[in-house]
Structure 1
C-alpha cells in the first residue's frame, strides 16, 4: 500500500498538476459565464426573478433527494463489488470512494475520476489489482446500462428525437460506436491477456515512432505490471452473475434518479404539459452524448444538449432551467465531493 502510494506521488508533475488546475478553473468559469451571459442578455434574468417569486420548493427538495440517492447508490454498488473481493470492506469506504469519483469526474476532462478512485481504494488498503478490477467493472456496468437505457428511450420516443434533431440517426450511430469501443476495450483488458499485450506493444511502438515518450521501455514495464495486477483482480471477481445483475439494476435506478431532474425543475417552475417520460428520455440521451465532450463536466456539450432538447418544454425559462439543472446535476458533485473528502481526511478514512 505504501509503495503504491509513493509511486503515485512520484509520477505527479507539479507543473502539469498546476496546468490541469488552471484548465479546470478556466473551464468552470466559462461554463458558468456562458449561462450567466444568456441570463443577462436575454429575458432569462427577468424570467428567473419571476420564477423565484412563485417557485415550488417541494419539487426542488425531491430533486435534491434524487441527487443524494444517486450518490448513495454509487457507494452501494461499489460496496457490493468491493465486498466480493474483501469481506471486511465497509460502505463508508465505498461511499467516500464514490464521492471522490464524482468530484474528479466533475473537475477533469472526459470524466476521468476512475484513477483517483483506484488511488483512494489503494490508500484504504485494497490492492491495486483488486481496486482496478472493481472500478473497471463498475464503469463497465454503468456504460452498458446507460447505453441500453438510452437505446430503449430512443426506440420508444424516436419521433420526438427525430423532430428535435434532423440528423439524429448519425448522432445515435456515432454515440453507439464510441460506447461500444469503450466497452469492448474494457472487456479485452479485463479478460484477454494475450490481446491486451499485443495492443500494449502496438501502442508503445506508436509512441516510440512519434517520439511522444522519453522512456517507452520503462512505461511499458509499468503498464504491464499494472495489467498483471488488474487481470488478477478481474479473475478474483469471477463470473458472479447475480452480483452483476444486482449492480446493473441499482445502476438503472441511479441513472433514473438523474434523468428525472429536468421534470422536477419543470414542476418547480409551476409549468405543466411536458411529458414526464419524454423528459426522462431526453435527459438520459443528453447525459450519454455529452459524456464524450473533452472538458470538465462536459461543459458546453451538456448545456447545449439541454437547450436543444428542452427549449420547447421550458420556453422563456430555459436558461434558468439550465442553471438550476447544472447546479443540481453537476456543481453539487463538486460541493458534496469536496465535503466528503474533507471529512474523510479529517477522520483518517483515507
Structure 2
C-alpha cells in the first residue's frame, strides 16, 4: 500500500495545476464583466431550484455508493452505505483534481483496502462501475445528439469536432474493455503479434510487457465471470447508473428554471449536457476545468438568454463541480483528522494496557 500513499501525496501536489486552471478560467470569463451585476443577477434566482440541483448532485454520489454496496455485498465483503459513500466521495474529489480523472479509482481502492476489502474484489467492483459509467455516458451522448441535432446542427461546429473525438475515444475504450473481458484469447493473439513486431524492432522489454498484459487479462477473467453469473445485479447496476447520469445532466435545467425560464423541457437540457460532457471527457485536464466552462458558454447560448449566460454557467458548474469538490475535500480532511485521532488514541490505549500488564507481572513476581 506504499504506492497508494505515495499516490495520495502526488495527487495533492498536482492539485496546484487544478487551482491554476480555475484562476485562469474565471479570469478570462469575468474580466470584462461587472461583478456587482453578476452578483445581483445570481441573488435574484429561485433558491428552491438551486437546492434541487444540489440534491441531484447528492443523488449522483449516492447512486455510485449504492452500486459499490450492491457489488461488494455480492462478493461477500462486509460493508455499509456510509463506507460506500466515503468511496464515492473519495472518487469524485480525486478524479476532479487529477488529469484525466486518473486519481479517483486508485484512491477508492486504497480506501477499500483500509476497510479490509481485498484488492482483487475492489478492482473488480471498480472495473464494473467504470464499464457501466462508460456505457451509460456514451448512450446518453448519442441519444442527446440525435434528439437535439436540429438545435445543434451548424451552430457549434468547433465543439462538434470535440464531440466526435470524445465519442470515438470513449467508445474505443469501452470496446477494448469488452474485448479484454469476453474475448481474452483473441486479445492475447493480437498481443503476440504486437510482441513479435516489437522483438523484430529489438525492443528489449517486449517479453516483460507481454507478461504484465497477460497478467492483467487473466485478472479480468474473474470480472467477466462475475458479470455473467450476476445478471440481475448487473441490471440493477445499469439502472442505478442511468439515474446517476440523469441527475448529473439535469443540473443545467434546474439552473435554467431558477432564472424563471420554462420554454425548454428537461430532456432538451439533458441531451445538450450529455453532448457537452462527452465532448470534454477526452481532454486530459483536471475536472475538465476551462474547457467545460467554454463548452457551456458555447452550447447553452442556444437555450439561455445571453444576458444571464455567464451567471448560468457559474451556477451550473458551481453546483455540479466546484461546490462538491469543496464539500468532498472538507469531508476527506475531517475524516483524515478523525482517523488520525482514533489511531493515536488506540496507540495510547495499547501503551497504557502494556504498562499495566508490566506492573501487574512485576507485582506477581515480587509476591512470589
TM range (shorter): 0.7 to 0.9
| Higher mean C-alpha displacement, 88-97 vs 271-280 | 271-280
Q: Whole-Å Cα distance in 1 between the matches of residues 189 and 155 of structure 2?
A: 43
- Aligned mate of 1:26, from 17, 28, 42: 17
Q: Match of 2:145? A: 154
CA displacement, residues 49-77 of structure 1 (integer Å, 9 cap, x when unaligned): 33134222111111111111111111001
* 1:205-284 matches, cutoff 5 A: 224-225=214-215, 227-284=217-274
Tell me by how many angstroms 1:240 deviates.
2.1
Alignment partner of 2:115 out of 119, 124, 127: 124
Using the alignment, how far apart are the partners of 1:317 and 1:209 within structure 2? 61
Q: CA RMSD in A?
A: 3.3
Match of 2:88 among 95, 98, 118: 98
Aligned partner (choices 42, 53, 68) of residue 52 of structure 1: 42
CA contact (8 A) 2:141 2:271 kept: yes
Tell me the SS of whatever aligns to 1:270.
Answer: coil
**CA deviation digits over 1:3-38, x for unaligned, max 9?**
xx24545xx489xx65x6454323333224322442
**Alpha-carbon deviation of 1:161?**
1.4
Structure 2 counterpart of 1:177? 168
In 1, distance between residues paired with 2:320 and 2:24?
17
8 Å CA contact retained: 2:60, 2:245:
yes
Give, in angstroms, the shift of residue 200 of structure 1. 6.0
Conserved? CA contact 2:87–2:112, under 8 Å: yes
Residue aligning to 1:78: 68
Contact 2:25 2:289 in 1 (8 A): no
For 1:41, what is the secondary structure of its paired residue?
Answer: coil
TM-score by length of 2: 0.79
| 1:188-219 residue CA offsets vs partner (Å, 9 max, x unmatched) | 3333433454566678789999999x977767
Q: TM-score, normalised by structure 1?
A: 0.83
The corresponding residue for 1:334 is 325
Q: Deviations over 1:225-277 (max 9, x none)?
A: 45544433443443422211211111111111111211211222334434432
Determine helix, strand or coil for the equivalent of 1:103.
helix
In structure 2, the CA distance between the partners of 1:209 and 1:274, relative to structure 1 (3 Å rule), is farther
SS where residue 48 of structure 2 aligns? Answer: helix
Structure 1 match to 2:51? 61
Count the aligned residue pairs.
Answer: 339
| Pairing partner for 1:325 from 316, 319, 325 | 316
Report which of the two structures shows the higher radius of gyration computed on alpha carbons: 2
- The 1:324–1:203 alpha-carbon spacing in structure 2 relative to 1, beyond 3 Å, is farther
1:323 Cα offset (Å):
1.8
The answer to whether the Cα contact below 8 Å between 1:130 and 1:232 also exists between their aligned partners in 2 is no
SS in 1 for 2:282: coil
Q: What secondary structure sits across from 1:293 in the alignment? A: coil
33-42 vs 55-64, greater mean Cα deviation: 33-42
Q: Is 2:280 aligned against 1:290?
A: yes
Which range is displaced more, 237-246 or 247-256?
Answer: 237-246
Q: Does the 8 A contact of 1:75 with 1:95 survive in 2?
A: yes
- When structure 1 is superposed on structure 2, of 63-72 and 309-318 the one drifting more is 309-318
For residues 293-340 of structure 1, what are the alpha-carbon distances to aligned partners after superposition, in whole Å with 9 as ceiling and x for unaligned?
A: 111001222111101111241412222222222221112332232233
- 2: distance between equivalents of 1:106 and 1:219? 30
* Counterpart position of 1:164: 155
Q: Structure 2 unaligned segments of length 5 or more: list them.
A: 344-368
Q: Give the Cα–Cα distance (whole angstroms) in 2 for the partners of residues 211 and 342 of structure 1.
A: 49
- Structure 1's unaligned 5+ residue stretches are none
Pick which of 145-154 and 21-30 moved more: 21-30
